[in-house]
Structure formats: C-alpha cells, structure tokens
Amino acid sequence: MNPLPLPSWLRRPTWLILVLTALVLATPAGAQQPPNRAGLVIQYDDGRVETACVRFREETISSLELLERAEVPVIAQGSAIGTAVCKIGGDGCDYPAEQCFCERDGPRAVYWAFYTGDGSTWTYAVRSAAGVDVRDGDLNGWAWGLGDSSGGAQPPLLTIDEICVEPPATALAPTNVPATGTSIAPTTISAAAATTAPPSPTPASPETEPSAQWPSYLGFAVLAAMLLIGGAVAARRRG
C-alpha cells in the first residue's frame, strides 16, 4: 500500500517556512531550568553577620567568584600556590600596601578563615578560594579572627533556605518587577540573631517571571491557526 501523499499546501515552501517559524516561536522560553544558587555568610570583626544569595547559570563557579558576584569588596593576593583573601569589606589587610596577613598575635595570625558547608556543619577549607568549586545549594562561610593553619574564627551556621528566602507566591503576575542580576545584594543581620532570624526576602530572579511564558503560548496559537487555515484551504480545493 502506497502511503498517502501530503496535501499540496504542505509541500509548498512558503507553508513550510511558516510552520517552522511557528515551531520556533512555540519553544517555551520560560521552560529553562531555574538558576543555581549558593549562600554566603560573612562574620566581621565587630560581630556583624552579612549574608548573600548568589544565583548563577554555570555548573560551577569558584568561591572567589562567589564573593565577587555578591558585590562584596574583596582584596586578594594571587600566588603560585593559590589565592589568599586579605580583606573583605573593611576588615583585613590592604595588600599590596601591606602584607596580606599583616595582623599577628605571636605565632598565630588574625585573618579571614574560610569554610564550606552544607547547612549542618562548617568544614575548614584547606584550599584557596580560587581553587574551591561552588555548586547549586553550596554554602561558603568567612570569619575574621585569630587562628592558624588548622582553623580560625567561625561564622554562624545557616541553611541555604534561610539565606535564599523566596518571596511568597501570588495569584497574579506582578506588573512592575525590578530587574535583578545574578548577584543578590548582601543582607546584614546581627550576630545574636544569625541562627534564629532569616534575612529579608530577596526579589525573584527574572528567569522565573510568569511573563516569560507568553512566547510559548503565542507560538502554539500561531501554529494552530496556520494548521486550521491550511486544512480548510486543502478541503476547499478537494471540494
């Protein structure tokens, strides 16, 4: 049995171009995966605790990039064995005007101790921030204080959900949503409240806005309309 021939309107180049265009428009622009997110906890010399939720599209970024994308002022010293963080915010040493580890107390130093975490515990990082990969859901912690090569001051322990607080869902799409980038501005909380009070909610990432779904609906509507019109034209010619 010979297969049924395609209708003549489907064999015409013009219709083929229109159908392909509609299929492109029908690709859900808003169906992409949500961005990865990582949390940052920073404890300063005066006890202030600053947190930041950073969203990123790459599979991994470095811990140094996490600090930079959170728009935290950082001074670092690169070397053949790694990158040392000399200053974060107003605490630390002004390299290269002074040594990266300029403050000492006998054999020990006052420096930025670096930790990685999973929400249940902090692990002291033996590698430099430039050599530690950050993935979706990871936590980084920094604390300024006295320590040595085995550990130092430790920031309060927070979970990723406490740092990356999502706004409550609403029935209607917002009409005036401020644009945001991959970095979320840090939120400052007191050291005493760090383990009990989560930071203020952060604005939704633009990749998840409901308005991003409109191209999908429009493409399907165009495709359906063209198929109906083409079918009607073909039926009329056969009649």
> pLDDT tens digits for 62-101?
999 999 999 999 999 998 888 999 999 999 999 999 999 9
Whether the per-residue pLDDT at 131 is higher than 60: the answer is yes
DSSP string over 115-166: EEE-SS-EEE--S-GGG-EE-TT-EEEEEEEEEBTTB---PPP--HHHHSPP
If phi > 0 it is left, if psi is from -120 to 50 it is alpha, else beta; for residue 127 that is beta
Burial (CB count <10 Å: 0-12, 13-18, 19+), residue 130: middle
Tell me the C-alpha distance between 175 and 216, whole Å. 19
pLDDT 10s digits, 223-237: 555 666 655 555 566
Q: Copy the structure tokens of residue 41.
A: 């906890």
pLDDT tens digit sequence for 158-174: 999 999 987 665 544 44
Per-domain residue ranges for the chain? 8-30+212-238, 35-204
**What does the pLDDT read at residue 113?**
97
The string of pLDDT tens digits covering residues 1-60 is 555 565 665 555 555 555 555 555 555 544 567 899 999 999 999 999 999 999 999 999
**Tokens read off for 108:** 């020990």
End-to-end CA distance of the chain: 25
Interatomic CA distance for residues 228 and 226, integer angstroms: 5
* Burial annotation 177-215 (CB, 10 A radius, 16+ → b, else e): eeeeebbbebbebeeeebeeebbeebebbebeeeebeeb
Angle between helices 13-26 and 214-238 (to 10 degrees): 150
d(CA 210, CA 175): 11
Q: Which fold has domain 35-204?
A: Ferric Hydroxamate Uptake Protein; Chain A, domain 1 (2.170.130)
Distance of CA 230 to the CA centre of its chain: 45
Q: Residue 59: its pLDDT value, please?
A: 96
Q: Is the dihedral of CA 44, 48, 51, 52 positive or negative?
A: negative
Q: Are strands 91-92 and 104-105 parallel, antiparallel or unpaired?
A: unpaired
Closest CA to 114 of 105, 123, 106: 123
| Tokens found for residue 52 | 């930041």
User: Do the Cβ atoms of 5 and 106 come closer than 8 Å?
Assistant: no
Q: How many C-beta atoms surround the C-beta of residue 52 within 10 A?
A: 25
Mean pLDDT over 198-216 rounds to 40
